[in-house]
Chains A and B, each alone.
Chain A
Amino acid sequence: MISLTNGYGSRLRNGILAAAVALPVGFAGPALAQDYPSADETLDWTIAFGPGGGNDIMARSIIEILDKYDLYPGDVKPENRAGGSGAVGWGYLYAQSGNPYGISTTSGSFVTTPLQADTPWQPEDFTPVALLATDDLVLVVNGNSDIQNIEEFIAKAKETPMNIGGTGTVNVDFIVPTLFAQKAGFEFDYVSFNSMSEQTTALLSNALDAMVGNPGEILGLIESGDLRPLVFSGQNVPAALEGVPTMGSLGYDIGVSMPRGLILAPNAPQEAQDWWIETMKTVVETPEWGEYISSNTLTPTVIYGEDFRTFLTNTKNGFQEVLKSVGAIK
């Protein structure tokens, strides 16, 4: 296990920065709960993946913001508990039922791992704080392809089935194009890859007709014209993809995306859940959060508390249905 402790040596630097920037925010945490959080308790922040990944970057960005604006009174100890596609880390949090000081960030595997393996936990078991953003996908073709836009793509796919590459099978990469194709009425062959890099080179080498991917990872290639974006699966197109239609605007809304949110251990006290919901309302207003969202090309989608639990349940059921229909899971 790789365990990292974010010491607070940077407090001074952050303090100075905060003094300069914090004026508009100007208060330190909502005052509704006096007992929670206690400054003596260390917040045990589980990151269910290794350092450097999307989940890790999100957790550390939130912690930076909490630190900078003095939103959390005690120490925060982020630990990377990677393993088993998140099963290890979220299993660790699951075991702390009732503890108000166990917290974690979610990502796509939070929904897909329990579908694939016998994890003791399900996504809806945890105490939901907030969905903060969603990871959405962009469908791209090679920059030298004849296909200029999504209408041409659909028209061509109806004539001869195309192949679309994505990462993994029990994954949003597979579910998004499958649902989109059903709605738009074309057929395609899904080609599954182990990593974004293999699938990108496959597309650049003209082996693939098209692929789906997180815009953040391929923005450089889109900017240089090596890849041509056709359609985006989220509700709002990120600034970097201006002019690209969304699936919803074409009338093929699929309503599936990967949740990036915040959870507490199962059965955490009500006051802890309330405190974190109020605090996250402050966090998402900060300019740093805006910067995190735009530099990672996420779609800001904020829902709190029990609505987040409902969202998780719906996403899980949606995934399960599609994956069962193609026989990927039983």
Chain B
Amino acid sequence: MDIFADLMMGLSVAITPINIVYLLIGALVGMIVGVIPGFGPSAGLAILLPVTFGMDPIGAIMMLAAIYYGAMYGGTITSILLNTPGESATVASTFDGFPLAKNGRAGPALVMQAVASFVGGTVGVILITILAPMFSQVSRSFGPPEYFLLAMMGMLTLLVMIGTNWKLGVISALIGFALGTVGVDLETGQGRYTFGSAELIGGIYFIPIAIGLFGLGELFYAFYGGLHRTGTGAIVQYDKEERFWPTAQDWISTRLTMARSSILGFVVGVIPGAGATIASLMAYSTERSVSKNPENFGKGEMAGLVAPETANNAASSGAMIPLLTLGIPGSASTAVLLAAFLLWGMRPGPLFMEQNPELAWGLIASMYLGNMALLAISIFAIPLFVQIIKVPYRILGPTVVVICALGTFSVNASFIEMFLMFGAGIVGFFMRLYGFSPAALVLALVLGPLAEEALRQTLTISRGSFMIFIERTPSLWILGITIALVAFLPLLNRLGGKTASSGDAEKAGS
């Protein structure tokens, strides 16, 4: 078999002692940059990029790629333990990860997230191996009309996030949409609410907002509850002896979740620009929709953690497809990888895999190894990470504030973003107190600008006609799936004997 021979060739290139060392360095760095809130894989990649000057390209690209997918493993740890997403793609992991930890199940949650990440990452690489040429067609069929419809499909997720108190949920989402209007209007080039600030030209990035709303908001809420004065002062409970490993129930109940989320995450990851964050949010809402007990989501349901975790790792593999088959970077991180290829004098494009088979297959083979290494590292490191939660809250709290501030600042070196983060922290506290939905706000902030830009691009192209949405085959597909979801999901819920209003998902973002 051709693919098998290619993969073996790739493995033979990848498995040399020095390359394995590079791979492990990359995996570790990735986990670490993932753990620090705000400081994501693209920043980690960018910092190590100059180090790779003069290195053997294969070892270098293995290391850089490992940082990229390693961050998906690390980013969840703080989501679970501190309700602070370490990385944008792990925002959705706070929804059920943190409640799980609060219920004393931090150990199983961390193990399951490592396993879910491994499954997502590995399924993703398998799909790259066998289906890369086919999926390159997917990334080639996405124009503005498809992006708009995809954003609309993503907004279905809002319905889930908004939950029972729909008025508060809608207000939360509207705040998110409003924040999304800041920045230079892509169409006319005019600044909207930028007040002449160069730092706001690019708009309000959702990472500082998410860190503030979830991380600081939770922290303030804990102080409000007087947690720093209680004896143990710990925010979550962890019992090493009894509750480290997940129960059989955890494994059984999440089998299908992993399968569904791997595929979903991968497909969304293949679409340039959609990426791991949207994949993880969509996986979360899909799981909640098909679950037999949606009312448990947001209260510590294992499937609610496994879904986004599997999806974000599968998506990070999927994002390699447009990079390797078209030379199009689908995310900030893959853009840095592209810059690396250019630095080494390689020219990514449709002929890349033919012209550089050793590098391309070496990279793919290394992703199998990297995911295995990360699974082992994650599980061994869990006892280390859970030490965090044994730190008394009066010490942990201020430390988290400092880390959040530093992490936010490190992304764009912007004071404005840091102030936004603190502002969002205060808003997040009140949202938590009065039952608003921070999750809906963040989702609206992510999807709002995407939808607006895509719609305006679409209508410029079609000269104002909405017919373009049904004239293009890919659009029709997405439209069909969206309509099917809207029509059948409530039906499914009802057939399952669930009352549609049972999910109080405003908890989902708390």
Contacts and interface: CB of A to CB of B under 8 A. Distances in A.
B322 interface: yes
**Highest count of chain A CB atoms <10 Å: which of B53, B145, B188, B202:** B188
Contacts, number: 193
Contacts of A285: none
Contacts of B145: 207
B187 interface: yes
A220 B474 contact: no
Contacts of B349: 218-221, 223-224, 226
Interface string A214-246: 001111110110100000000000000000000
Given A2-B413, A197-B272, A197-B328, A220 B351 contact: yes
Nearest to A171: B189
A80 B47 CA distance: 10
Interface in B195-209: 196-199, 201-202
Interface in A84-114: 84-88, 113
Contact of B142 (A80, A82, A201): A201
Interface residues of A, number: 66
Contact of A205 (B54, B142, B190): B142
Interface string B171-191: 000000000000011111111
B140 A52 contact: no
Interface string A143-177: 00000000000000000000100001110001000
B142 to A, nearest CB: 5
Interface stretch (B82-90, B109-117, B252-260, B453-461): B453-461
Given A189-B463, A205-B140, A220-B348, A52 B339 contact: yes
Nearest to A169: B189
B84 to A, nearest CB: 21
A51 B143 contact: no
Contact of B140 (A4, A118, A204): A204
A52 B43 contact: no
Nearest to A207: B143
Q: Which of A52, A53, A192 has the most CB of B within 10 A?
A: A52
Interface string B63-87: 0000000000000000000000000
Contact of B143 (A60, A82, A205, A221): A205
Contacts of B197: 84, 117-118
Interface in A111-132: 113, 116-119
Contacts of B198: 83-88, 113, 116-119
A197 B270 CA distance: 12
Interface in A177-224: 189-198, 200-202, 204-208, 216-221, 223-224
Given A52-B340, A207-B145, A220-B349, A169 B409 contact: no
B103 interface: no
Interface in B334-391: 335-336, 339-340, 342-343, 345, 347-352
Contacts of B343: 57
B189 A323 contact: yes
A164 B316 CA distance: 31
B144 A202 contact: yes
A127 to B, nearest CB: 22
A6 interface: yes
B246 interface: no
Nearest to B185: A169
Nearest to B46: A51
A60 B49 CA distance: 12
Given A51-B49, A53-B339, A83-B413, A191 B141 contact: no
Contacts of B184: 116, 169-170
A6 B50 contact: yes
Interface of A: 1-2, 4, 6, 10, 13, 50-53, 57, 60, 64, 80-88, 113, 116-119, 163, 168-170, 174, 189-198, 200-202, 204-208, 216-221, 223-224, 226, 295-296, 323, 326-329
B108 interface: no
Given A52-B335, A117-B196, A192 B413 contact: no
Greatest chain A CB density within 10 A among B146, B339, B472 is at B339
B189 A82 contact: no
Contacts of A220: 326-327, 347-352
A191 B188 contact: no
A268 B361 CA distance: 51
Contact of A194 (B43, B348, B409, B453): B453
A202 B409 contact: no
Contact of B47 (A51, A57, A60): A51
Contact of B189 (A57, A200, A328): A328
A328 B190 CA distance: 5
Interface hub of A57, A168, A200, A329 (most chain B Cβ within 10 A): A200
Contacts of A224: 349-351
Contact of B327 (A60, A168, A208, A221): A221
Nearest to B199: A84
Nearest to A240: B347
B30 interface: no
Q: Which 3 A-B pairs have the closest CB atoms?
A: A220-B349, A207-B143, A84-B198
Contacts of B50: 4, 6, 51, 60
